[in-house]
Structure 1
Amino acid sequence: MNMKSSVDIISEWDIVAARQLGRNEAKDAGFGTVDQARITTAISELARNIYLYAGKGNIEIKQIVEGNLKGILVIASDEGPGISDVRKVMEDGYTTSGGLGAGLPGVKRLMDDFKIETVVGDGTTIIATKWLR
């Protein structure tokens, strides 16, 4: 059962829509309220990054099953400027927006698996997974 849902991120309202979708999918997958909050916070951060840095992009959220593991897969993709220094953006406290967001290190902490694929001038895809315990 691989239901796919996604939200195009174009305006700030889409960040809210992505959060809501994430919460619904996480709840549907059987995550408790604490993990639901972790997942929605991560999605919010990823969606905000797309909105701030790329202008537009997409958040895809799907329930996945690998063997006896169930989880939520979040794919944030954009065709923005890309990330020139991935190590730098992964440092705690690093921000270019001056925001109080947890940034990408926060997303990595909130989720179980985290991967960045980025090409400068071409865009960024971030794949994050949270497994049901």
Structure 2
Amino acid sequence: MTGDAGRPDEIVIRADEDVVRVRQLVRAHALRLKLSLVDQTKLVTATSELARNTLIYGGGGTARVEEVANGHRKGVRATFHDDGPGIPDVTVALADGWSSGTGLGLGLGGAKRLVDQFDLDTEVGRGTEITVVKWAR
């Protein structure tokens, strides 16, 4: 399930309603690939946190969601991009128990633990891009 011409689905994140749309899109992809209910919940929870972070800390941005394959494995990949201030201290931001107090309480570390792959690219003054993947089992 991708956008027109095989491109990933993309949602511009500018308001709370867009965070909801990201969750719905991620769940639709996870259902299509028959991820277990537990894995669906983990992926939707992680991407919800990342979408909210994109809105709150990045000042808005985009979420790109697509189905991916690696050999016989299939999964859902979600990439969140913003042109916000960037993350000044990634180690602190990923630390267990660290949260700004405005999200779901997971923080980036919690989101990272819920998915199978987590890649973070950030630079102060340039913004942040986080890509996560959850594989069907």
TM-score tier, shorter chain, comes to over 0.9
The Cα shift of 1:95 comes to 2.0
Query: Which position in structure 1 is the counterpart of 2:28?
Result: 24
Matched, 1:115 2:116: no
CA displacement 1:27-67 (0-9 Å, x = unmatched): 01111211111111011000010111011111111100111
CA displacement 1:78-114 (0-9 Å, x = unmatched): 0000001100000011123454420111111100011
Query: Which position in structure 2 is the counterpart of 1:46?
Result: 50
Q: Structure 1: which 5+ residue stretches go unaligned?
A: none
Query: Which position in structure 2 is the counterpart of 1:66?
Result: 70
Moved over 6 A (4+): none
Residues 119, 131 of structure 1: alpha-carbon distance in 2 compared, 3 angstrom cutoff: same
Kindly report the root-mean-square deviation, in angstroms, between the aligned alpha carbons of the 2 structures: 1.4
Aligned residue identity for 1:42: A
Distance in 1 separating the partners of 2:80 and 2:127: 11
In structure 2, the residue corresponding to 1:54 is in which secondary structure? coil
Distance in 2 separating the partners of 1:91 and 1:65: 30
TM normalised by structure 1 equals: 0.94
Paired residue total? 133
Distance in 1 separating the partners of 2:29 and 2:104: 26
Residue in structure 2 matching 1:57, options 55, 61, 78? 61
TM normalised by structure 2 equals: 0.91
Residue in structure 2 matching 1:82, options 81, 86, 89? 86
Distance in 2 separating the partners of 1:5 and 1:98: 27
Contact 2:53–2:103 (Cα < 8 Å) also in 1: no
Q: Structure 2: which 5+ residue stretches go unaligned?
A: none
In structure 2, the residue corresponding to 1:95 is in which secondary structure? coil
